C-alpha cells in the first residue's frame, strides 16, 4: 500500500524525537542491536515496534481489515488475472465439508480433548463457498508506474501471464496477516517477485478472514484452492496442474495454512473415511490418496496460535512484533466484527481448538510421507515454532532446508530489501522451488541441510538439526497447553468483568500483531 508524501510527513514528524534518539543510540553503539543492524534497519524495526506496540492506540478489527485489504490497483511489472471458482451443482459440497470435519475430529488427540468434551471445537456451520483468487505473474519491460493494459479480459490477462513464464513452477500462495488481515491484492509486489525469480506463476488465494469466518473456513478455502489447481472447473483459465509442479508457499499465518493443509491431506490419505466416501470436484473424481504437492516453502511460519514457546519472549529484541507480555492488558475496541456472536477467546478459533493440529500445526506429531519443506526464519519471536517442526520433519526422514538469519525480524525479506540476508533468502527460495519441480530427480533430489546465516557478513554456517532446539514433543505440548489455559482463563475473567475488564465496548481476545 502506498502513502503520499504529505501523509508520510504527517506520520513521521510527531516521531522525530523518537527517531533522533534511536539514531543517536545506534551511532554511539548504545543500543542492544547496533552491532547486528545498520542504522536503516534499526530505525525501521524500532518505528514498526513503536507503531505496533502497547503505547500506540488500538484500532478496531473492522478498521484494521479495511486498511489492510484495500486494493492498491494494478501497475508495474506484474500480471494479475482475477478468478472466481464457483461451486458445482453436480458435486456433493457437503461431502467435501464432511471430509474436512471428519479429519478435524480424528486429529483431536486425547490431550486436546481432556476436559473439553462439552466445549465447542469448531464452527460446524462452516460450508464451502465460491473461492476468489488472483493469478500473479511477472510482466517484463515495463516501468513501476505502467498501468495494466486496458480492455483486456481476465482470460486474456492470464494468457499474457503464461506467455512470460519460463518454468513449470506453480506456487499456491497464502498471505500472512494473523488470519484476519491482508489480501492477495496487497501482496502483488511480493508474489510477482516470486514469479519472476522462479519463472513460474502464483495462485494467490483470497481465503476467508477471521473473526467473521473462524476455523475451519480458511482451511476449507485452502483445500478448495488446491483442488482447483488439480481439477480445474470448466470455466477456469488454467488446465489441470500436476501436483508435482505445485509448491505450497506462505508467510507467517500463510505458513500456518500451508502446513495445516498438508496435515489435512496426510490425514485424509491415512483415514479410511475418504476411501469409503469418494468425492468429486466439478465432476472430477478426487484421487485417493490425494497427490501431495512437490514441496512447501515457508517464510517465518506461525505454527503455534497460543504463542507459548520461549522465543516469543526471548527474541523479542530482534523483532517488531509485540510479545504476549506486552499486549496482555490491551483490549480490542468493539466493532461489528468483534466481539463475535457468541463471544470466544481467540479471533481465529474456539478455545478448545487452540492446540488442535490443524490450528497450531506443531501440535501434529506425524508428518510421515511429507514432501520437502523449506524454512526461512529470522532470530524472531516465531523462531522456535519453525525449529520444532523442522526438527520433527527431519527425524521422520522428510527432506528439510533450514535457513536461519541472525538478528533478522519476522518476514524480514518482505520488509527489508536492503537487509544483507534478503538476497540470500530469495536466491535459496527460488532454487528450492525450481529444484523440486524441474530438477532431474524432482523432490527426490532434495538433500536436507540446515544453515545459520550471519547478520552482516552473510557467512553461512552449517548446523545440525538436532541442535535447532532442545524443546521435545512433550515440552512443546506442555507449553502450548499452558498457553491455551492462559488465554481461556483470561477470556473467562474478562467476560465476567473481573478486575474491571470486559467492559462494554471492549473485545476480550488477546491483541494479536500482524503475523
Residue written as grid cell 500472512? 176
DSSP label at residue 338: B
Of 187, 226, 184, nearest to 205 (Cα)? 184
Q: Which three cell numbers stand for residue 305?
A: 496460535
Query: Buried b vs exposed e over 271-297: b needs ≥16 C-beta within 10 Å?
Result: beebeeeebebbebebeeebbbbbbbb
Q: What angle do CA 416, 420, 421 make, to 5 degrees?
A: 85
Of 514, 471, 484, 482, nearest to 314 (Cα)? 471
Q: Where are the beta strands (DSSP E) in 386-484?
A: 400-405, 449-453, 460-462
Cα–Cα distance for residue pair 422/458, rounded to 1 Å:
10
CA atoms within 13 A on the CB side of 22: 20
Q: Which of 185, 252, 311, 376 is catalytic?
A: 252
Residue written as grid cell 468483534? 338
3-state DSSP assignment of residue 447: coil
Question: Any catalytic annotation for residue 252?
Answer: yes
β 295-299/246-251 pair status: parallel
The answer to whether the beta carbons of residues 218 and 254 sit under 8 Å apart is no
Q: Which three cell numbers stand for residue 382?
A: 516465531
Which residues are tagged catalytic?
252
Amino acid at each position: 500500500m502506498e502513502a503520499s508524501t504529505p501523509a508520510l510527513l504527517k506520520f513521521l514528524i510527531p516521531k522525530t524525537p523518537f527517531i533522533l534518539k534511536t539514531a543517536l543510540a545506534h551511532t554511539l553503539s548504545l543500543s542492544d542491536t547496533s552491532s547486528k543492524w545498520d542504522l536503516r534497519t534499526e530505525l525501521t524495526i524500532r518505528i514498526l515496534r513503536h507503531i505496533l506496540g502497547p503505547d500506540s492506540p488500538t484500532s478496531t478489527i473492522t478498521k484494521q481489515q479495511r486498511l489492510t485489504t484495500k486494493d492498491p490497483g494494478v501497475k508495474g511489472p506484474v500480471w494479475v488475472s482475477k478468478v472466481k471458482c464457483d461451486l458445482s451443482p453436480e458435486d456433493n459440497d457437503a461431502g467435501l465439508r464432511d471430509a474436512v470435519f471428519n479429519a478435524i475430529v480424528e486429529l483431536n488427540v486425547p490431550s486436546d480433548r481432556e476436559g473439553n468434551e462439552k466445549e465447542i471445537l469448531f464452527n460446524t456451520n462452516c460450508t464451502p463457498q465460491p473461492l476468489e483468487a488472483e493469478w500473479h505473474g511477472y510482466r517484463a519491460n515495463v516501468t513501476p508506474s505502467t498501468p495494466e493494459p486496458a480492455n483486456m479480459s481476465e482470460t486474456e490477462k492470464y494468457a499474457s501471464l503464461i506467455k512470460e513464464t519460463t518454468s513449470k513452477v506453480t506456487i499456491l500462495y497464502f498471505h500472512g496477516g494473523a488470519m484476519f488481515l491482508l489480501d492477495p491484492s496487497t501482496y502483488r509486489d511480493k508474489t510477482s517477485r516470486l514469479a519472476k525469480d522462479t519463472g513460474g506463476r502464483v495462485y494467490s488465494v483470497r481465503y476467508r478472514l477471521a473473526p467473521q469466518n473462524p476455523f475451519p473456513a480458511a482451511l476449507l478455502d485452502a483445500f478448495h484452492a488446491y483442488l482447483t489447481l488439480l481439477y480445474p472447473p470448466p470455466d477456469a483459465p488454467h488446465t489441470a496442474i500436476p501436483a508435482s509442479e505445485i509448491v505450497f508457499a506462505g508467510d507467517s499465518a500463510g505458513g500456518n495454512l500451508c502446513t495445516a493443509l498438508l496435515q489435512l491431506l496426510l490425514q485424509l490419505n491415512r483415514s479410511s473415511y475418504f476411501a469409503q466416501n469418494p468425492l468429486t470436484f466439478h465432476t472430477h473424481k478426487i484421487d485417493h490418496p490425494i497427490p501431495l504437492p512437490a514441496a512447501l516453502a515457508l517464510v517465518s511460519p506461525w505454527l503455534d496460535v497460543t504463542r507459548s514457546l520461549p522465543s516469543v519472549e526471548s527474541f523479542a529484541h530482534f523483532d517488531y512484533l509485540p510479545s504476549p507480555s506486552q499486549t496482555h492488558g490491551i483490549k480490542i475496541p468493539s466493532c461489528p466484527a468483534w466481539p463475535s456472536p457468541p463471544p470466544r477467546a481467540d479471533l481465529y478459533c474456539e478455545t478448545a481448538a487452540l492446540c488442535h493440529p490443524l490450528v497450531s500445526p506443531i501440535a501434529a506429531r506425524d508428518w510421515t510421507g511429507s514432501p520437502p519443506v523449506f524454512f526461512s526464519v529470522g532470530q524472531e519471536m516465531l523462531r522456535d515454532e519453525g525449529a520444532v517442526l523442522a526438527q520433527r520433519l527431519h527425524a521422520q526422514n522428510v527432506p528439510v532446508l533450514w535457513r536461519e538469519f541472525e538478528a533478522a525480524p519476522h518476514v524480514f525479506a518482505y520488509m527489508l530489501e536492503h537487509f544483507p540476508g534478503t538476497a540470500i533468502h530469495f536466491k535459496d527460495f527460488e532454487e528450492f522451488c525450481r529444484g523440486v519441480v524441474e530438477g532431474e530427480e524432482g523432490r527426490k533430489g532434495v538433500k536436507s541441510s540446515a544453515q545459520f546465516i550471519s547478520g552482516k557478513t552473510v557467512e553461512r554456517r552449517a548446523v545440525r538439526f538436532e541442535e535447532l532446539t532442545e524443546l521435545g514433543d512433550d515440552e512443546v505440548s506442555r507449553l502450548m497447553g499452558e498457553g491455551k489455559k492462559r488465554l481461556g482463563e483470561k477470556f473467562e475473567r474478562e467476560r465476567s468483568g473481573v478486575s474491571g475488564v470486559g467492559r462494554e465496548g471492549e473485545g476480550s481476545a488477546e491483541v494479536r500483531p500482524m503475523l
